[in-house]
Amino acid sequence: MKNSQRFINREHSWLDFNERVLQEAADKRVPIIERLRFLGIFSNNLDEFFQVRYATVKRIAQSVKSGKKVLGGTNAIELLEEITERVINLQSKSNEILNLIEKSLKNEDIYFINEKEVLPDQESFLREYFLSKISPALVTVILNEEREQDFTDNTAFLVIKMEFDNSKNNHNKQFAIIEILNDLDRFIVLPKTNNIQYIMLVDDLIRFHFDQIFSFFNYKSIEGHMIKITRDSELDLEGIASKSYIEKIIESVKDRMFSEPVRMVYDNTISKDTLSLIMKKLRLNPDGSIIPGGRYHHRRDYMKFPSLNRPDLVYPIQDQLTIPELPLSANILEAISKKDYMIFTPYHSFAYLVKFLREAALDPKIKRIKITIYRLSKISQVISSLINAAKNGKKVFVQIELQARFDEKNNIESATRLEAAGVQITFGIPGLKVHSKICVIEREENNKIVRYGFVSTGNFNEITAKVYTDYTLFTSDQKILKEVNKVFNFIEVSYKLKTYKHLIVSPHYTFNAINRLIDNEILLHSHRKSSGIKLKINNITDYKMIDKLYHASQQGVKIQIIVRGICCLIPGVKGLSENIQVISIVDKFLEHPRVMIFENDNNPKIYISSADLMTRNISERVEVTCPIYDLDIKKQILDTFSIAWNDNVKARLINTGKHQNIFKKSKNPRIRSQWDTYNYFKLLVEDNEN
C-alpha cells in the first residue's frame, strides 16, 4: 500500500485534533464559560500550529530542492493550500459557535457590549479604567505609506484609518496601528446594571477612546479593524561560532518577533486600501495564508475568560486528593524508602513533588540533587526548592532545556537564578533536546549512598499540573535510580553511551526496545497465550513504529490506543489494522501521560514515559521510559486505562473512513473518564480512612 493509504497526513491529523477541541466549544453539555475557554484553546492551538508546523511546510515548499515533499510524499505546496482551506472552514465554524455562546450568555444576563453600546452610566467607569490601565500601555504608530516600517513585534493590533476633509488637509487619509500588548487584561468586567453583567473587550474599549488617542488629528471619520499575524517560530542557532549557546538562544528568541509572517487573519469588514497597505508593510504574498475573520481574532484570550462569580457556568472545582497511606504531612523520603508511590495529577496534588524537593533541601544527609527541567511555571516552587538546597550546601545539578519552544525566555531566567545561587547548570547535548522528566537525590545512610527519586510523564510545573493529567512515580528502587543516574551521566558527558536493563532511553534504545516488546506479544499470540498492547499517548507519527503495530495487528494481536492529538495510524483496515482500535478523549483536563501496557501472558509489563511515538522522541531527544514494578501502582494504571477506554461521553473514534471525529456511542451506563478517574482515586482514599 502507498503511504497515502497507510498513514494520515500529520498536519491534517493535527487539524482533526483541534476540531475535537472545537467540538467541546460547541457541546451544549459543557458549561457556557468553559465553552468560551475551549474556543480560546482552539485559537491558541491554531496559532502554535502556524508558528511551527505550517511554517515548516512553508519552508519546504519554498526550498530549491526538487519534489518539495513533506513526510509521506505529500506535495508541500498543495498541502499549504489544503491547510488554508481547512483553517478557513474551522474559523467559520468557530465564529458560528461564538455567536451561539454569546446568545446563551444573554440568557444568563451576561452581555458583551462594543463601543457603540455603552450606556451613559458606564462611561465614567470606562474612562477611568482606560486612563489608569490601558492608555499607559498602548503603543501607537503612525504609518507612512512610502517608508518601510517594521511596525510591530506583537501578534495582534488594531489598524486605524482616519479620513479628513480635503479642504483642510493635503491628504485625505491617514493610517495608524495600535499594538495590543499581551499583558493587558482582555476582558473588562463592568459593574452590574439591573442585575445584568456587562463585558467589554479591550479592543472595543480602545475604539471607545479613539477621540482621546487621536485628539491631535481633526478627522472627519475614524475606524479600527483587528489584524492578527503569526510568525515563523523556528529558532536560528547558526551564526557566529564564538557566541555561546545561551547567547544564540537569546538572540533567536528576539529575532522570532520579527521573523517571516506565515499567516494573517483580518476583520473581513476592513476596507481594501487599509488591507492592501498592511499586506505591503508586512511584505505578505496575497497567495499566502491570508484568512478573513470576524471582528476579534485574538481568541486565545478566551482561555482566561473570568468566571464572573458564576460557579454554575464553569466546571465544578474538585479538591485535589492525597495518596492513601501518604498524607502530605508525612515524611515523604521515609515513606518512599519502604515502597513506591505514584501521583496522577491533577487528581492528586502536585504538592507531593514540591515537598519531596523541600525535604531534600533541608535533610542534612542529602548530599546531591539532580533534576531535568523542560517547562516551569513563571513563579516556580521547584526552582525555589533547588535554590534552597544549594544554599544549604547540597550539590545541585540541573539540566535545563533552553529550546523548550515558547518557554525559552522563562527557562533562561530560571537558569540565571539557579546559577547565581551556586547550582551547577547544563543546557544539554548539542543536537538533542532533553525532554525526560527525572530527578534523583543521593542520601548518606550508614556510610553508603542511597538514592531516591522520581520519574514523570509531565513537566514539573505547578500551573499545568492543575490541568494536565500526568503520572509521577516516586521510588527508592536502587536498580531504577542507578540507571536514572546513568542518564544524568550521559547528559554531563555527551555521547558516552550507557547500558540499561530497566529503563528504555532515547535516542539510542527506544525503537528497538519497543519493537522487542511488540515481538514478544506476537510470539505469545502465536502460542495461543494471552497477548495484547495498550497505549496511551499524546501523538503517534513515526511511520516505522506504526508499521510495526500494523504487523502485530496482521499477526492477530489486539491493540488499543488512546491518543490525544496527532495520529497518523489508520485503525480498522482489513488486512492491515483490523485488530487496532483508536480513541481520543478531549475534556476538562488535557490528557498528557504516556503509558505502554504489554499483556505478556497475564503478567503485564507496564511503562510510563516522557516520549511519544514520534520520530523526534524516539531518535532525536533524550527521553526516559520507566517500568512499573509495584503491584498496587500497576493495578491503578490498568484500572485508569480501562476507565478511559470505556469512556462513552468524551471519547471519539478517530481516523475513520472520512477522518471524522465521531463521539463513541454505547448502551452501557455513562462513563466520563476524567470524572470517574477522580472518583476512583477518591474511593481509594476513603477505603484507606475506613
Q: Let me know if 659 is a catalytic residue.
A: no
Task: Please give the grid coordinates belonging to residue 271.
Answer: 476596507
State which amino acid sits at residue 444. E
Chain center to CA of 280: 33
Compute the Cα dihedral for 113, 116, 117, 122 and give only its sign: positive
Backbone phi, psi, residue 233, to 5°: -100, 5
Beta bridge mates, 454: 439, 474
Instruction: From residue 339, give the alpha-carbon distance in Å to each of 333, 334, 633.
Output: 10, 9, 10
DSSP structure class, residue 540: B
Query: Rounded distance, CA 349 to CA 343, Å?
Result: 7
Residue 238 CA to residue 110 CA, distance in Å, equals 52
DSSP of 37-88: HHHHHHHHHHHHHIIIIIHHHHHHHHSSSSS-EETTTEEHHHHHHHHHHHHH
Q: Are the C-beta atoms of 151 and 280 separated by less than 8 Å?
A: no
Q: Output the DSSP codes for 415-469.
A: HHHHHHTT-EEE--BTTBEE---EEEEEEEETTEEEEEEEEESS-S-TTGGGTEE
Active-site residue, from 297, 435, 525, 592: 435
Q: Measuring CA to CA, which residue among 560, 458, 131, 104 is closest to residue 310? A: 104
The amino acid occupying position 495 is Y
Cell numbers at residue 400, please? Answer: 535545563
Whole-angstrom Cα distance, residue 464 to residue 455? 17
Q: How far apart are CA 661 and CA 583, in angstroms?
A: 9
Selection from 371, 339, 374 nearest residue 353 by Cα: 371
Q: By three-state DSSP, how is residue 304 classified?
A: helix
- What do you get for the CA distance between the two ends of the chain, in Å? 58
Q: Three cell numbers at 483?
A: 540507571
CA distance 346 to 319: 10
Is-cis flag, bond preceding 136, omega within 30? no
How far apart are alpha carbons 552 and 596 in whole angstroms?
A: 15
Catalytic positions, written as ranges: 435
